């Protein structure tokens, strides 16, 4: 019986790793002894500091996941590297009235949040299956995937799709010993929320900063989450402690969604 998290044999592909939740997850894996192949559209000071601290464990590459050739090249690199754990964290956000939204916004959000997530999940899980190896896939959904919101229709729909694909893929790969789960964060205080707050200020006629304050106060535990709050759930699902868990979406949201 394993009673502690041991990730020394984990080889992790992590997207959206340069800041916020992704950067915290990268550091968490590194502290637990995992090897990490981290990607984002552009390196940050934070990821460069981790590279300097963990030169033998962390490899970082700039990847524009909106480009199919770059996506396929990343997948090939990860499989050649013998990846056994995937964390699909990369995502983009936008909002607006449904009657003003257009298919360009729809395409951008679904491309990164769903299409890229699906392809990496499919590619990594199939690589493991073909080589008769077990592994872990962890997809990032959101509390926005649990219910629609008037101003956030496309984003909510993408995150609901993540939950559904996670369930379907978990069943498809269950016989191969590959577990596939998702995490649904609530409101998390990251640089992205500054952008989100400004959009709410625009569409709800609020002062800058008010939406962020209000949503934090509405969390049952009394505050917005921070990136570090997500790390424990990811490491748990990536470890042998979660070998009998698959097809689930774990809410990490301070009690906002009860299930």
For the chain, what percentages of helix, strand and coil (3-state, to nearest 5) are there? 50, 15, 35
Name the helix (H) or strand (E) containing 135. Answer: strand 135-140
DSSP classification of residue 225: B
Selected catalytic residue, list 60, 155, 165, 173 = 155
Q: With the C-alpha atoms ordered 231, 234, 235, 236, is the resulting torsion angle positive or negative?
A: positive
Q: Which of 45, 73, 47 is nearest to 60 (CA)?
A: 47
Q: Considering Cα of 134, then 140, then 142, then 146, what sign does the dihedral take?
A: negative
**DSSP H or E segment with residue 228:** helix 228-238
Q: Which long-range contacts (CB under 8 A, 24 or more apart) does 100-106 make?
A: 101/153, 101/154, 105/154, 106/154
Q: Could you confirm whether 173 is annotated as catalytic? A: no
Q: Which residues are catalytic?
A: 155
């Amino acid at each position: 019986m394993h009673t502690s998290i041991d990730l020394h044999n984990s080889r992790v592909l992590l997207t959206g790793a340069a800041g916020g939740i992704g950067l915290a997850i990268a550091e968490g894996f590194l502290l637990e002894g995992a090897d990490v192949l981290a990607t984002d559209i552009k390196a940050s000071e934070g990821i460069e500091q981790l590279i300097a601290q963990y030169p033998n464990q962390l490899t970082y590459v700039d990847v524009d996941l909106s480009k199919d050739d770059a996506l396929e090249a990343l997948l090939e690199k990860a499989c050649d590297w013998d990846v056994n754990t995937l964390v699909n964290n990369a995502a983009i956000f936008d909002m607006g009235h449904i009657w003003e939204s257009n298919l360009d916004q729809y395409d951008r959000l679904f491309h990164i949040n769903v299409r890229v997530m699906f392809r990496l999940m499919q590619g990594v899980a199939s690589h493991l299956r073909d080589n008769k190896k077990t592994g872990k896939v962890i997809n990032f959904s959101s509390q926005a995937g649990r219910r629609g919101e008037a101003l956030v229709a496309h984003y909510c729909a993408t995150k609901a799709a993540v939950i559904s694909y996670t369930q379907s893929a978990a069943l498809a790969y269950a016989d191969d010993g590959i577990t596939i789960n998702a995490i649904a964060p609530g409101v998390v205080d990251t640089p992205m929320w500054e952008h989100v707050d400004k959009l709410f200020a625009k569409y709800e006629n609020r002062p800058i900063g008010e939406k962020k304050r209000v949503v934090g106060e509405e969390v049952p535990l009394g505050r917005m989450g921070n990136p570090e709050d997500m790390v424990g759930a990811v490491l748990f699902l990536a470890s042998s402690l979660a070998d009998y868990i698959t097809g689930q979406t774990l809410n990490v949201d301070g009690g906002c969604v009860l299930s």
